[in-house]
Amino acid sequence: MSDHSDAGAPAAETPAAGGSAPGASASGASASGPAASGQPGPHAQTAAHAVSGNAADPAENTGSASASGASAGTAAGIASGAGTATAGSAGAGGAVGTATATTADGAPGAGALTAFASTRGRYYALILAVFCCVFIISNISATKVIGFGPIVGDFSIVTDGGAFLFPLAYILGDVLSEVYGFRAARRAVFMGFAMQALAVLVFYLVMISPPGPGYESQDAFEAVLGFYPRIVAASLAGYVVGQLLNSYVLVWVKRRMGEKHLWVRLMTSTGVGEFADTLIFCVVAFAGVIPGADFVNYIIVGFVYKVAVEVILMPVTYAVIRFLKRREVTYAPGGED
């Protein structure tokens, strides 16, 4: 929501009929209200001066103002300085301009709006679909425990099949949070949760159904998907907590830093989210299944591995985010979040 600030008195009345009054406008911001001589009044000139220059690029403006001409002929006050200021009055034919501001180092100024895109854009639904698929496939794969080694002495790397794909879920979560905002990412998390719960229900119904003639893999089916409900319970608990923390932290940092230093947002949010996710998942899914020191190994390796994947794929994450910000026409300060 833009802050509204009135810092000037209304200009003189516009003529009741005949001819349009000269004014000044730039990048959607306008000011009108001629003096008795027919020339632009001092308030209109001030508005023209305030919105000139970089008004088309709200991320670069250090001071902006807007005013709308009403049928009654009044002009709103003009504000300037290193914050965000908008002014507007309702009326027939009036147009209200909006701008945001940044400080000298690129961080949002006081009252500045954070940029997000609408979930009604071109790519949100596609990313949401991939996000849900990655989550379901990872949980099915996680039913198998994998061991690599021994590597050095008796040390082995212990993980599960979900390690191959699940880190991508956090990368997609970062993309959703950075481009579309927390609420859009939360919607994706809950949608993934719902699809996973549906998969659990279907697998369970299939497992308890009697095998038909010639089907001899009932035991194998139960061995793989019979453990699946515990995996899903662990995954859903870790996933909801971890993903929501990941999204919340990323958006929280973005609101304070603006568009700069994307890597800080990605690493901070991933570290917090992945740690919570890994700890909850490992304890719920494999406590008592993986013994002793191997269990601690499993938690540490899982966390380090997932964060390492985020770091390695960060150039790809950067490229995807940059692509979406350019292609989503609704991406703008004060956009949907």
Contacts 24+ apart (CB under 8 A), 204-213: 204/229
Residue 129 — pLDDT band, cuts 50, 70, 90?
Answer: very high
Answer for the pair 182, 337: CB distance below 8 angstroms, yes or no.
yes
How far is 174 from 58, CA to CA, in rounded Å? 24
11 CB burial (10 A radius; 0-12, 13-18, 19+)? buried
Both 159 and 181 in a single domain?
yes
Both 157 and 66 in a single domain?
no
Q: Which of 86, 111, 136 is the last residue of a domain?
A: 111
The rounded radius of gyration (Å) of the Cα atoms in the chain is 28
Both 153 and 281 in a single domain?
yes
DSSP 31: E
Both 249 and 123 in a single domain?
yes
143: domain CATH number?
Answer: 1.10.1760
Residue scoring higher pLDDT (84 or 207) = 207
Both 185 and 134 in a single domain?
yes
Q: What is the count of structural domains for the chain? A: 2
pLDDT (tens digit, 9 = 90+) per residue, 189-246?
999 889 988 888 898 899 899 999 999 989 888 887 776 667 778 878 888 898 899 8
pLDDT at 74 over 70: no
How far is 202 from 60, CA to CA, in rounded Å? 53
Region 280-304: mean pLDDT is 83
pLDDT (tens digit, 9 = 90+) per residue, 164-204?
888 888 889 899 999 999 999 999 999 988 998 888 889 88
Region 310-336: mean pLDDT is 89
Range of the domain at 311: 116-333
Beta-carbon contacts of 321 under 8 Å, excluding residues fewer than 6 positions away, are 174, 175, 178, 179, 262
Both 183 and 223 in a single domain?
yes
Answer for the pair 88, 75: CB distance below 8 angstroms, yes or no.
no
> 3-state DSSP call for residue 1?
coil
Region 110-120: mean pLDDT is 77
Answer for the pair 114, 255: CB distance below 8 angstroms, yes or no.
yes
Residue scoring higher pLDDT (326 or 297) = 326
Both 161 and 297 in a single domain?
yes
pLDDT (tens digit, 9 = 90+) per residue, 28-41?
443 344 444 444 44
Both 53 and 148 in a single domain?
no
- pLDDT value, residue 131: 92
3-state helix, strand, coil split of the chain in percent (to 5) is: 50, 10, 40
Q: Which of 92, 111, 130 is the last residue of a domain?
A: 111
Helices marked H in 119-227:
124-141, 167-180, 182-208, 218-225
Both 138 and 248 in a single domain?
yes
pLDDT at 108 over 80: no
Task: Scan for tokens 């949608």, then name that residue.
Answer: 191
Region 298-326: mean pLDDT is 89
- Cα 302 to its chain centre, rounded Å, is 25
Q: Which of 76, 111, 146 is the last residue of a domain?
A: 111
Check: pTM over 0.75? Answer yes or no.
no
Q: What is the mean pLDDT of the chain?
A: 71
Both 56 and 204 in a single domain?
no
Say which range, 1-5, 180-184, 189-193, 287-291, has the weakest mean pLDDT. 1-5
Region 148-155: mean pLDDT is 78
Both 289 and 325 in a single domain?
yes
Both 194 and 283 in a single domain?
yes
Residue 130 — pLDDT band, cuts 50, 70, 90?
Answer: very high
- pLDDT value, residue 112: 59
- pLDDT value, residue 228: 63
